[in-house]
Amino acid sequence: MTPKKKVAPAEGAERRRYKRYDVKLHADVTTEDAFLFAYVSNISEVGIFLATDKPLAVGTLMKLRFRPLESESFEVEGEVVWVNPVRQKPEENINPGMGIKFVNLDDATRDRIVKLIRTIAYLHDNWV
């Protein structure tokens, strides 16, 4: 049975409880049968958006390894919760990728993500 594909929510349908911050971090993604690298284009305390032209199916579990800013890399587990698929027409192919929800976070990793978010928020507020 093939998992159902969800697509990105319609613009203006803001349902997020956690603020997202734009960022560009390289991420290595490992699943049971795939390895790919992508870029984290935004991040929140509960998940990330991975910009990629090879999004995985909704429900796919993965390990993500990324190196935020100038700190040591770390690994988190995630699950694909929605996909913005690659489209045939280049003018329609805006921001392909997948929304990833963090899963099975231990306290130390959660604290590290929150610290990263605060650093990005501080930098963002001082650039604007």
Task: Provide the residue ranges of all domains of the chain, joining segments of one domain with +.
Answer: 21-127
pLDDT at 11 over 50: no
Angstrom distance (rounded) from CA 51 to CA 128: 23
Quick one: pLDDT at residue 89? 76
Quick one: pLDDT at residue 81? 96
Quick one: pLDDT at residue 20? 79
Quick one: pLDDT at residue 63? 94
Angstrom distance (rounded) from CA 5 to CA 45: 24
Burial of 58 from C-beta contacts in 10 A (0-12 / 13-18 / 19+): middle
Assigned CATH for 21-127: 2.40.10.220
Question: In this structure, what DSSP letter does residue 121 have?
Answer: H
Q: Quote the pTM value.
A: 0.76
Q: Residue range 17-41: average pLDDT?
A: 84
Tell me the average pLDDT of the chain.
Answer: 79
Instruction: Classify strands 61-66 and 47-51 as parallel, antiparallel or unpaired.
Output: unpaired
Angstrom distance (rounded) from CA 23 to CA 60: 23
Judge whether 45 and 17 are in contact, CB under 8 Å: no
